[in-house]
Amino acid sequence: MPWSSLFQPIERLTAEHGLEDWYGRLLSRLGGAPAPFELALLGGLQAATPGLAFLAGYQAALRMLWPAAPWTAGALCVTENRSTRPADMSTRTYGLYISGRKDFVTAAECADWLLVAAREEQADEAPRLALGVVRQGAPGVRIEPLPALPLMPDIGHARLHLDQAQSERLAGDGWDDYVKPFRTLEDVHVLTAVSAWLFGIGQQSGWPQALLLRLQGLLAGCAEVARQAPNAPATHLLLAGLFAQQQALDDELEVALANGPAHWAALWQRDKGLLRIAEAARDKRLEKARRIVAAC
């Protein structure tokens, strides 16, 4: 990881020509095939908004989940009727085809490929997921854009409709090997990207050196946790420590942003809640990890 890049002058990337263009220009700057952590860190550093930093972290997490993914942007499609439980899903895979609907797909407007969780068990079996890859624009694949949200309005969401869409099934269990670990991969890479965005703002705005050093330390911790197995109890304990470090900086960040350019402060006030996304799920994983570690 080229850490020296963290301290170089920043030329921020805006997305006036859309998210697909933004992501393509970011990859071009990073040499076309960066390691996932580098994509999250430097993507967040160069992002013009917290939402674009989120997008860099999200794409980095997807590449950790599926290392063979194309270098175009992608999305993971799981949620149906506000649930991610396999038993609540109606989307199904039939051999090489998938039919169903996913209700909340992040950044679908720029996704070239879509990882779709679909049930594949027989009638007398417990729910079992497969993960299939479909291509946006292919027959049977339709994206329905949804209204922008107050949080990260620059990162669109959509509903995915599949009607006998041809797919490529990825090896392994859709839940244990993909959906479940992605939650942790997304948490650590999005935290990395957003913390890098804040660090870059701080350097430009002349924040106190002590605050910048704490953000550096947080990023170094993210680098180590990103190397750990996402399903390991110890990883969840370490990740909880990273989020605790970030939350401990809240008051200092508010003061520093209030004393700097109003533009950055307004963006942070609008989007800072993105680090609270899936907080309840993280807390549950933390408690489970504590029990497992205590029993060893």
pLDDT tens for 224-270 read 999 999 999 999 999 999 999 999 999 999 999 999 999 999 999 99
Left (φ > 0), alpha (ψ -120 to 50) or beta: where does 12 sit? beta
Q: Is the pLDDT of residue 1 over 80?
A: no
**pLDDT classification of 123: cutoffs 50, 70, 90:** confident
Query: What's the start-to-end Cα distance of the chain, in Å?
Result: 34
Task: Give the phi and the psi of residue 198 in degrees, each rounded to 5.
Answer: -65, -40
Host domain of residue 103:
74-169
Both 269 and 184 in one domain: the answer is yes
- Helix 50-65 / helix 262-271 crossing angle, nearest 10 deg: 50
12's tokens: 């921020």
**In this predicted structure, what is the pLDDT of residue 100?**
98
Residue pLDDT, tens place only, 136-175: 999 999 999 999 999 999 999 999 999 999 999 999 999 9
Both 138 and 237 in one domain: the answer is no
Residue pLDDT, tens place only, 31-44: 988 999 999 999 99
Q: Which residues pair with 132 in a beta bridge?
A: 116, 169
Q: Which residues pair with 168 in a beta bridge?
A: 133
Q: Exposure of 235 by Cβ count < 10 A (0-12 exposed, 13-18 middle, 19+ buried)?
A: buried
Both 81 and 160 in one domain: the answer is yes
- Helix 209-225 / helix 233-248 crossing angle, nearest 10 deg: 170
Specify whether the CB–CB gap between 83 and 119 falls below 8 A.
no
Both 183 and 290 in one domain: the answer is yes
Task: Give the phi and the psi of residue 286 in degrees, each rounded to 5.
Answer: -65, -45
Q: Which of 113, 145, 169 is the last residue of a domain?
A: 169
293's tokens: 């570690």
Q: Is the pLDDT of residue 2 over 90?
A: no
Q: Which of 144, 169, 194 is the last residue of a domain?
A: 169
Both 233 and 254 in one domain: the answer is yes
Q: How many domains does one find in the chain?
A: 2
Both 165 and 182 in one domain: the answer is no
Q: Pick from 148, 190, 161, 159: which is nearest to 279 by CA? A: 190
Both 213 and 92 in one domain: the answer is no
Q: Which of 169, 201, 229 is the last residue of a domain?
A: 169
Both 88 and 56 in one domain: the answer is no
Both 28 and 120 in one domain: the answer is no
**In this predicted structure, what is the pLDDT of residue 296?**
83
pTM assigned to the model: 0.97
Q: CA of 39: how far to CAs of 21, 161, 229, in Å?
A: 16, 30, 19
Both 158 and 205 in one domain: the answer is no
